[in-house]
Structure 1
Amino acid sequence: MANCAHPKGVEKMLVFHGAMILVIDGAKLSLFRNRGRDFAIDLELVEHSVQHAAQTADIGTDKPGRSFSSVGHGRSAHETTDFHQADEDDFARAAIDRLNALALQSDFDFIIVAAPHVLGFIRPRYSADLKKRLVAEIDKDYAGRPAADVAELLLNYTA
Structure 2
Amino acid sequence: MNNLKIPHNAFVFVGDGRKALFLRNDGDEKFPNLKTESVFAEEHPSSHDQGTERPGRVSKASQSGQRSTVEPTDWHDIEEHHFARKVAAALEQVIRERKVQALVVVAPPRTLADLREAFHADVKACIVAEINKDLTKHPVWEIEKHLTGDANSH
TM-score range, shorter chain: 0.7 to 0.9
1:44 equivalent in structure 2: 35
Q: What stretches of structure 1 move > 4 A for 4+ residues in a row?
A: 68-76
Question: Over aligned residue pairs, what C-alpha RMSD do you find?
Answer: 2.1
- Checking the alignment, whether the CA contact within 8 Å between 2:9 and 2:100 is kept in structure 1 is no
The separation in 1 between residues aligned to 2:86 and 2:137, in whole angstroms, is 18
Say yes or no: does 1:112 pair with 2:139: no
- Checking the alignment, whether the CA contact within 8 Å between 1:19 and 1:108 is kept in structure 2 is yes
Deviation at 1:69, TM superposition (A): 5.6
The separation in 1 between residues aligned to 2:144 and 2:101, in whole angstroms, is 17
The separation in 2 between residues aligned to 1:139 and 1:129, in whole angstroms, is 21
Q: How many residue pairs get matched?
A: 147
* Distance change in 2, residues 1:153/1:95 (3 Å): same
1:101 equivalent in structure 2: 93
- Of 130, 135, 139, the match for 2:132: 139
Say yes or no: does 1:15 pair with 2:3: no
- Checking the alignment, whether the CA contact within 8 Å between 1:34 and 1:41 is kept in structure 2 is yes
Deviation at 1:108, TM superposition (A): 2.7
The separation in 2 between residues aligned to 1:32 and 1:107, in whole angstroms, is 12
- Checking the alignment, whether the CA contact within 8 Å between 2:108 and 2:134 is kept in structure 1 is yes
TM-score normalised according to structure 1 size: 0.81
Q: Which amino acid aligns with 2:36?
A: L
Q: Secondary structure at the match of 1:15?
A: coil
Q: Which amino acid aligns with 1:57?
A: H
- Structure 2 runs not aligned, ≥5 long: none
The separation in 2 between residues aligned to 1:95 and 1:144, in whole angstroms, is 17
Q: Secondary structure at the match of 1:81?
A: coil
2:79 equivalent in structure 1: 87
TM-score normalised according to structure 2 size: 0.84
2:55 equivalent in structure 1: 64
Q: Which amino acid aligns with 1:121?
A: D
Q: Which amino acid aligns with 2:146?
A: L
